Structure 1
Amino acid sequence: MNPFRRSYTQVEQNYFKFLSKFKLFERLNRAEMLLFIPHLHLRNYRINEVVFFRNDPSQALYLIKSGELTMLLDVGDHFETVVGFGPLVSVGNNSLLEDSKRIFTAVVSSVVCEIYVLPRVNILDIFEQNPLIRAKMMESLAELLNENFSVMLRAYQVSHGLFDLEGMFSAFEMGC
């Protein structure tokens, strides 16, 4: 046993176990995850409570501990359900990107939803002091976005073109 090795409390170990289940944190070691722990704020949301609105600035990353969130998109004068998420899903991943805005409105769809909120300002402070952490998390974010894009294209293929694929791709600034 190494006497100089840092030991962690049971609370810290519980946080490590929790964080490591999220793609954004899976590449980080314990010492790197430890930097985020003081900035995690556990919030209890109630059914139909809005966590964030579409087009709001992306000011925090949300890590669902328990309960369910529904992502809604306002279309005309009503909302359409896009997807629902349960425990161990991160929401608001674009908060890692500068000047990003929310793409959906997030509403609690379970009686109670426990969510750890990680403010963007703290994420950016950690990134500024630790470029390797930033690189690891950005690589994970790129993988998540690639997976989501692949799912969207597969959905397009099976739906026999219910939306304008050419119009969508022409809006991209960069190639695939």
Structure 2
Amino acid sequence: MINPFSKTYDGEELMMFDFLQRIKFFERLRQKELMRFLPAMHHRKYVCNEVVFFSKDPSQALYLVKSGKVNLSIDIKDNFEMIMEVTHGGCFGENSLLENAKRTYTALIDSEEAELIVIPHFAIQEIFDSNPKIKAKMMTSLAEYYNGNNQRLFRSYRESFGFFSLRQMFE
């Protein structure tokens, strides 16, 4: 039986919920919880070679890719080494879910144009402060994401033994 008092959502909201639930950090959230993020979202267009943010910048927003390509790279001396390409349905800037974090990589647009959804850090923190369940769900997803990154890092290290000292990571 349908609850006549339950909230109904329009087609645009349902499409956005579907988009969000495909992204790792939002996959555990129910529609009612996802609704909290909609007013905080800003749609922004970027052009080729535009920098979204640089490594070591303050982590001021989470970015969701609606269209286009974004290259994430790390600075090695005077060069940039691409570590990942993010496309439609992808997300980057995940450390904006943490407080007082700095960017660990540079994000650069690598398509003619890209449309990104930007969720400011302060808005995320307001949602977290007022709803600990949302924070717990998203932090669990963030921990799983970082765990996967660690597993890939250690596998890569084992496969290329001798190129760097893993001990440096913990110093």
Shorter chain as denominator, the TM-score bin is over 0.9
| DSSP-derived class of the 2:15 partner | helix
What pairs with 1:124-163 in structure 2 (closer than 5 Å)? 124-163=125-164
* Root mean square deviation, CA, Å: 1.0
Matches of 1:93 and 1:108, distance apart in 2: 17
Deviation of 1:57 (Å)? 0.3
Q: What is the CA-CA distance between 1:4 and the residue it aligns to?
A: 1.0
**For residues 26-58 of structure 1, what are the alpha-carbon distances to aligned partners after superposition, in whole Å with 9 as ceiling and x for unaligned?**
110000000000111111111100000111000
Give structure 1 regions of 4+ aligned residues with deviation exceeding 4 angstroms.
none
Number of paired residues?
A: 170
Mapping of 1:40-119 within 5 angstroms? Answer: 40-119=41-120
In 1, Cα distance between the equivalents of 2:72 and 2:46?
Answer: 15
- TM-score of the pair, normalised by structure 1: 0.93
Q: TM-score, normalised by structure 2?
A: 0.96
Matched residue SS, 1:117: strand
Q: Distance in 1 between matches of 2:102 and 2:123?
A: 17
Structure 2 residues without counterparts, runs of 5 or longer = none
1:124-146 deviation digits (Å, cap 9, x = unpaired) = 00111001110110001000000
